Amino acid sequence: MSESSPSADVPKGSFAAGRRVLLPRGAELRIVVYVNGVDQIEGKDYTRREDEILFNRDIIKEQKSGRRKLIMLLGVVGFYSKNETVDIQFQRDGKTELASDLPIEH
């Protein structure tokens, strides 16, 4: 029996964007990481390395072509591709901040 490839879990219309997210500049030690609003666990779901987060799996993003955008705008047909967002709650200068839908790096 062959092992499934990493892209086997990527739905049509989506792609594996990568596993790294850069932390906002000045983020202090304690952070809370969310993927689609679900709290992630350090050591299980991700690892923090200096100024970045390294996820244990690929973050899946939606492919956005001009044709797809037009069809969605017109409401002709629905698309159910996966589009995960990464949000980080952090402290900077004694204030709690939230960085939303951070870019995914390879």
Any idea where the domains of the chain sit in the sequence?
13-99
pLDDT (tens digit per residue) in 43-61 = 999 999 999 999 999 999 9
Q: What is the per-residue DSSP string for 4-36? A: PPGGGG--TTEEEEEEEEEPPTT--S-EEEEET
Residue bearing the bigger pLDDT, 81 or 101: 101
Neighbouring C-alpha atoms within 13 Å toward the C-beta of 72: 12
The pTM (predicted TM-score) of the whole model is: 0.77
pLDDT score of 4 more than 50: no
% of the chain at pLDDT higher than 90:
62
